[in-house]
């Protein structure tokens, strides 16, 4: 069947058969679903399958089976075989599981129900009614660490529904009768509530092993009391409401089901935290001295794994928490607040752009946050209601002062290797922002001391020193006039601790942060006394390392909230990128560790990348013809930004010793030689493999390094502009690069750079607008198209721009190669220093992050810290 090779038969149903198949173009296994010939002869059926593809592709969610595409294949007989391809799920259906293990316990059932609700809610939020929800259309897939992923499948009977209204059609009568709602059986208007009814039937089936029977002509199943004694009153209440005959008598929203079922669980967990001294459930790591005493205890999950929830912020008394979450719309991050211990989450923002990094006012009255709408900036919204208001265009990581009257924030490039950060203090009384620390080359990530007298930040004061090697944590008085070097990062390096996130918070004499030691990422504390403002003692972990804990915040009560993160980082390829209608993405690497900084040789045969974790990565090369991967170079330390030649034997890369970059050239099985410490971030070859483009200095200029002599020559520079990302096309003889005046915007330029002259000739040609942030420009193999990463729509997506080298100008308008609007799967979640985009022919190679996050709440047992915090109430 063309590009597909059938591997095995899986199952058959009323509409057709399902097979496991090998997709030779994607290079992976897929599920292939056919339509029976006798059914496919009717055009309405084909249209129905096309509808399934369109609707299911619009629902991107971890609990919904991904549908790829629809095809037709002409057999030797001349007959058409219609089929669609979808995600291949390794597991068994819920129906198959129940046939052997029913009834399920309430605890076991709840985990499955939460995920089924999450998947159906995602479909409803895209206006899609499933129409044939049942236990055989739910897959149980084994996941990592023994967790089960629940996936809703088979949207073949789905149709569009409107909130508060239904759809009347013959299609609505099609389904599986014993799961169908009364209005669907009678051919009446059908809406989202029909799926809720079917879910109620499935819940009964899970708890009893049988479906409830309808009684009377009204199809009322809620009166079947055969199952009622098996579940408690709360479960019975939920099931009875799902099975109400009239749709309007069911829950207003399908998510209400899990809210009711978990109400008791969530009521119990926080009070267990309040009584943590008596609790036997504790999560802790012993101190390096071997003595117990300081650790997070009674840690409990506040938000479900089915949502992407991050960056918690606690009010001073610990009774209100704010966080960013996509719980209402999968992939759309908004700001939420929740009263602790048992409050219902409240959505504060609804903008389609990402709303992230909330910080709640000390009294819990308002939230400041970063939004990517309208180019990005800091907004504020009152918890009691009202609309969000812009406070600071371009601002990042806002933090309320302890008195709630000011907000500290910074602006600049998120890439910590580019000197662009500037710290500001905003007065909420007059909305005036004042820049602090103007003599710093780079300053970012400000946090307040508990009494509001000082601000801790990450900064570099030295001129012409590369970042982040010159960065350190500094403390400034509120007016910025007195500044002290804390020596914290030097202390962390001494103990082999890699900082992996922002500064968590400064509480009394303790600073909380997330750090990696060896292969474990945990929450840590380090002591910075206000009397000396110098880091002292030994940094101490306060959580264990699996899964990774980041973004800690602390309340005066001792409540601590943090984010738990699971992630993957692999190299992907987007083929046919010059034609957006044909662009196709496929995963190339599958290692459980992180694959970063991919670069493809210009002939497309060799892919080089670094594999491992921050602080220790090895260099690997993949032969794109055979698909085999081989270790190229292994040694302690970071290895970033490798570029590889067409023979697959020569690599130039950046290494870092104490965060100071150096360039090296490596020839397989022959030698490794330094090219000096004056350059960083090698981005491309020039004159075959005789020279390499890199960046140098602060603000950065573009330099050319001769790989034989290590001579460095500046080829492009401009006052008060950071230049970077130079790549040259031997076909067009044009050089691409980026220029940023402030770290807020980044513009792509092209300039003629003849090989014979080894220097730019003529004017810089702008290829992107002045106010946008665009990065990693790369030439297509024929020099006629520029591919790059852009945030023009508020997300990190791959775009293209056609270019005419004869006239030296862009042709037409930019076009989207591939969008990445789901924060679970995006280049945006990759650290800038670990990300790269590379091109061979018209195929784009890049590394994409896949993440899942949840918020946890616990209690920090640390009497000295808590007593210090109470002094600042």
Q: Would the pLDDT of 683 be above 90?
A: yes
Q: What is the mean pLDDT of residues 433-442?
A: 95
Split at pLDDT 50, 70, 90, the class of 364 is very high
pLDDT of residue 280: 30
Residue pair 173/187 in contact (Cβ under 8 Å)? The answer is yes
pLDDT at 133 over 80: yes
Per the annotation, the verdict on 249 as an active-site residue is no
Residue 290: per-residue pLDDT: 35
What stretches of 478-604 adopt beta strand conformation (E)? Answer: 483-485, 497-507, 510-517, 520-527, 536-541, 548-554, 559-575, 584-587, 594-600
CA atoms lying within 13 Å on the CB side of residue 642 = 31
3-state secondary structure of 98: helix
Of 504, 654, 608, 582, residue with least CA distance to 847:
608
Residue 220: predicted pLDDT:
56
pLDDT for residue 622? 97
Q: Compute φ and ψ for 173, nearest 5 degrees.
A: -80, -15
Question: Per-residue pLDDT tens for 55-76?
Answer: 666 777 888 888 777 788 777 6
Mean pLDDT of 501-505: 91
**pLDDT computed for residue 547 by the predictor:** 64
Tokens of 270: 């926080």
Q: Which domains does the chain have, with CATH numbers?
A: 4-86 (3.30.200.20), 93-260 (1.10.510.10), 262-566+854-870 (2.120.10.30), 577-841 (2.120.10.30)
Strand order in the sheet with 442-448: 442-448, 454-460, 472-477, 483-485
**Tokens, residue 451:** 């009494």
Per the prediction, the chain carries an average pLDDT of 85
Q: How far apart are CA 442 and CA 420, in angstroms?
A: 6
Q: pLDDT confidence of 670, banded at 50, 70, 90?
A: confident
Res 76: pLDDT:
67
Q: Which one from 23, 132, 154, 305 is the annotated catalytic residue?
A: 132
Q: Please give the share of the chain, as a percent, with pLDDT higher than 90.
A: 54
Q: How far is CA 669 from the centre of its chain?
A: 38
The set of residues, in sequence order, having a beta carbon less than 8 Å from that of 580 and lying 6+ positions away, is: 800, 815, 816, 817
Over 80: is that where the pLDDT of 170 sits? no
Between strands 334-339 and 396-400, the pairing is: unpaired
pLDDT for residue 459: 96
Q: SS3 sequence, 217-267? A: CCCECCCCCCCHHHCCHHHHHHHHHHCCCCHHHCCCCCCHHHHHHCHHHHH
**pLDDT value of position 236:** 82
Q: What pLDDT score does 219 carry?
A: 46
pLDDT for residue 275 is more than 70? no
Q: In what order do the strands lie in the sheet with 389-393?
A: 355-360, 366-371, 377-382, 389-393
Q: What is the mean pLDDT of residues 474-498?
A: 94
Contact status, residue 118 vs residue 304, Cβ threshold 8 Å: yes
Look at the pTM and tell me if it is higher than 0.95.
no
Rounded-to-integer distance, Cα 362 and Cα 873, Å:
10
**268: enclosing H helix or E strand:** helix 263-274
**Which of these ranges, 8-17, 158-167, 559-568, has the smallest mean pLDDT?**
158-167
**Which pLDDT score is estimated for 299?**
84
Task: For residue 734, list its beta bridge partners.
Answer: 752
Look at phi and psi of residue 54 and say left if phi exceeds 0, alpha if psi is from -120 to 50, else beta: alpha
Reply yes or no on whether the pLDDT at 162 is more than 60: no
pLDDT value for 164 = 39
Of 419, 422, 486, 410, the residue nearest 449 (C-alpha)? 486
The tokens for 242 are 């799902």
Residue 182 pLDDT greater than 50, yes or no: yes
pLDDT at 56: 66
The mean pLDDT value for 441-464 works out to 94
Identify the H or E element spanning 196. Answer: helix 193-208
pLDDT of residue 69: 79
In eight-state DSSP terms, residue 64 is B
- Residue-level pLDDT at 231: 60
Whether 726 shows a pLDDT value over 50: the answer reads yes
pLDDT of residue 540: 93
Structure tokens at 247: 């749709």
Per-residue confidence (pLDDT) for residue 235, from 0 to 100 = 85
- pLDDT at position 518: 74
Residue 526's pLDDT band (cuts 50, 70, 90): very high
Q: Would you say 424 and 435 are in contact if contact means Cβ atoms under 8 Å apart? A: yes
pLDDT recorded at residue 144: 63
Q: Would you say residue 239 has pLDDT above 70?
A: yes
Asked whether the predicted pLDDT for residue 616 surpasses 90, the reply is no
Residues 6+ apart with CB under 8 A from 120: 130, 133, 152, 195, 199, 254
Range of weakest confidence among 77-81, 90-94, 336-340, 533-537 = 77-81
Residue 246 main-chain phi, psi, to 5 deg: -85, 130
HSE at residue 518, side-chain half, CA atoms within 13 A, is 5
CB 797 within 8 A of CB 846: no
Q: What is the predicted pLDDT for the residue at 873?
A: 43
Burial-class residue 225 by CB neighbours within 10 Å (0-12, 13-18, 19+): exposed
Nearest by Cα to 59 from 195, 188, 155, 198: 155
Q: From 615, 610, 526, 677, select the one nearest 847 (Cα to Cα).
A: 610
Residue 330: which pLDDT band, with cuts at 50, 70 and 90?
confident
Q: What residues form DSSP beta bridges with 550?
A: 563
| Beta strand segments in 94-199, E | 128-129, 138-142, 148-152, 159-160
Distance in Å from the first CA to the final CA of the chain: 71
Is the pLDDT reported for residue 291 higher than 50?
Answer: no
Flag whether pLDDT at 145 surpasses 90. Answer: no
What CA–CA distance (Å, rounded) separates 130 from 154? 8
Of 8-17, 432-441, 577-586, 718-727, which gets the smallest average pLDDT? 8-17
Share above pLDDT 70 across residues of the chain, in percent, rounded to a whole number? 86
pLDDT tens-digit map of 381-426: 999 888 999 999 999 999 999 999 999 999 999 988 888 999 999 9
CB 599 within 8 A of CB 643: yes
* pLDDT band per the 50, 70, 90 thresholds, residue 259: confident
Q: Tell me, what's the pLDDT at 147?
A: 80
Higher model confidence: residue 219 or residue 624?
624
Quickly state the pLDDT bin for 39 (edges 50, 70, 90): low
């Amino acid at each position: 069947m063309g590009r597909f090779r059938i591997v095995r038969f899986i199952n058959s149903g009323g509409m057709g058969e399902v097979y496991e198949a090998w997709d030779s173009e994607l290079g992976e296994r897929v599920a292939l679903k056919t339509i029976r010939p006798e059914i496919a002869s009717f055009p309405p059926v084909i249209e129905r399958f096309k509808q399934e593809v369109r609707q299911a592709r619009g629902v991107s969610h971890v609990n919904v089976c991904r549908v790829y595409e629809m095809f037709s294949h002409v057999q030797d007989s001349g007959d058409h075989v219609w089929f669609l391809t979808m995600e291949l799920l390794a597991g068994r259906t819920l129906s198959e599981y129940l046939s052997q293990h029913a009834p399920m316990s309430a605890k076991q059932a709840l985990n499955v129900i939460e995920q089924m609700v999450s998947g159906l809610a995602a479909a409803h939020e895209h206006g899609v009614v499933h129409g044939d929800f049942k236990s055989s259309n739910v897959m149980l897939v084994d996941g990592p660490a023994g967790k089960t992923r629940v996936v809703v499948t088979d949207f073949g009977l789905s149709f569009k529904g409107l909130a508060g209204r239904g759809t009347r059609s013959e299609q609505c009568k099609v389904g599986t009768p014993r799961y169908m709602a009364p209005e669907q059986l009678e051919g009446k208007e059908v809406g989202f509530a029909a799926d809720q009814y079917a879910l109620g039937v499935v819940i009964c089936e899970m708890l009893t092993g049988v479906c409830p029977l309808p009684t009377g002509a009204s199809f009322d199943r809620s009166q079947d009391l055969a199952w009622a004694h098996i579940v408690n009153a709360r479960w019975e209440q939920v099931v009875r409401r799902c099975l109400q005959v009239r749709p309007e008598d069911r829950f207003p929203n399908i998510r209400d089901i899990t809210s009711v079922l978990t109400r008791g669980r969530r009521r119990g967990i926080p009070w267990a935290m309040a009584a943590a001294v008596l609790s036997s459930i504790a999560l802790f790591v012993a101190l390096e001295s071997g003595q117990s005493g300081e650790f997070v205890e009674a840690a409990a999950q506040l938000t479900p794994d089915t949502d992407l929830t991050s960056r918690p912020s606690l009010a001073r008394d610990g009774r209100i928490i704010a966080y960013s979450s996509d719980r209402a719309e999968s992939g759309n991050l908004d700001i939420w607040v929740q009263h602790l211990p048992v409050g219902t989450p409240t959505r504060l923002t609804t903008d389609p752009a990402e709303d992230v990094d909330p910080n709640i006012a000390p009294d819990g009255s308002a939230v400041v946050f970063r939004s990517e709408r309208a180019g990005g900036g800091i907004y504020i919204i009152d918890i009691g209601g009202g609309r969000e208001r812009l406070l600071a265009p371009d601002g990042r990581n806002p933090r309320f002062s302890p008195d709630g009257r000011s907000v500290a924030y910074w602006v600049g490039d998120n890439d910590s290797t580019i000197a662009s950060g500037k710290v500001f203090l905003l007065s909420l009384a007059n909305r005036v922002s004042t820049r602090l620390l103007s003599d710093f080359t780079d300053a970012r990530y400000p946090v307040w001391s508990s009494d509001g007298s000082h601000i801790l930040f990450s900064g570099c004061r030295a001129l012409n020193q590369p970042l982040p090697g010159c960065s350190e944590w500094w403390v400034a008085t509120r007016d910025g006039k007195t500044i002290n070097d804390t020596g914290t990062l030097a202390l962390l390096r001494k103990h082999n601790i890699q900082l992996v996130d922002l500064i968590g918070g400064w509480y009394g004499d303790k600073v909380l942060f997330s750090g990696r030691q060896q292969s474990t990422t945990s929450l840590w504390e380090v002591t910075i006394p206000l009397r000396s403002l110098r880091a002292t003692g030994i940094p101490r972990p306060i959580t264990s390392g699996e899964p990774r804990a980041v973004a800690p915040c602390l309340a005066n009560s001792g409540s601590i909230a943090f984010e738990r993160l699971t992630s993957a980082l692999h190299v992907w390829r987007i083929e046919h990128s010059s034609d957006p209608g044909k662009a196709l993405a496929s995963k190339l690497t599958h290692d459980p560790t992180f694959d970063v900084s991919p670069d493809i040789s210009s002939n497309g045969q060799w892919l080089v990348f670094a594999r491992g974790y921050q602080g220790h990565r090895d260099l690997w090369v993949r032969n794109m013809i055979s698909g085999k991967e081989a270790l190229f170079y292994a040694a302690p330390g970071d290895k970033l930004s490798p570029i590889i030649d067409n023979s697959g034997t020569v690599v130039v890369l950046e290494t870092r010793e104490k965060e100071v970059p150096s360039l090296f050239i490596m020839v397989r099985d022959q030698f490794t030689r330094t090219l000096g410490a004056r350059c960083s971030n090698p981005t491309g070859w020039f004159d075959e493999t005789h020279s390499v483009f890199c960046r140098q200095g602060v603000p950065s200029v573009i330099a050319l390094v001769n790989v034989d002599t290590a001579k460095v020559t500046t080829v492009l520079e401009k006052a008060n502009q950071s230049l970077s990302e130079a790549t040259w096309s031997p076909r067009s003889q044009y050089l691409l690069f980026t220029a940023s005046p402030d770290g807020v915007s980044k513009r792509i330029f092209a300039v003629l750079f003849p090989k014979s002259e080894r220097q730019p000739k003529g004017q810089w040609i702008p290829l992107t607008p002045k106010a946008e942030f665009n990065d990693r420009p790369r030439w297509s193999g024929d020099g006629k198209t520029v591919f790059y990463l852009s945030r023009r729509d508020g997300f990190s997506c791959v775009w293209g721009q056609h270019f005419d080298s004869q006239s030296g100008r862009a042709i037409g308008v930019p076009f989207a190669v591939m969008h990445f609007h789901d924060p679970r799967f995006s280049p945006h979640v990759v650290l800038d220093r670990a990300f790269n985009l590379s091109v061979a022919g018209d195929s784009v190679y890049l590394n994409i992050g896949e993440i899942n996050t949840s918020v946890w709440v616990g209690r920090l047992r640390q009497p000295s810290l808590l007593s210090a915090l109470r002094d600042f109430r």
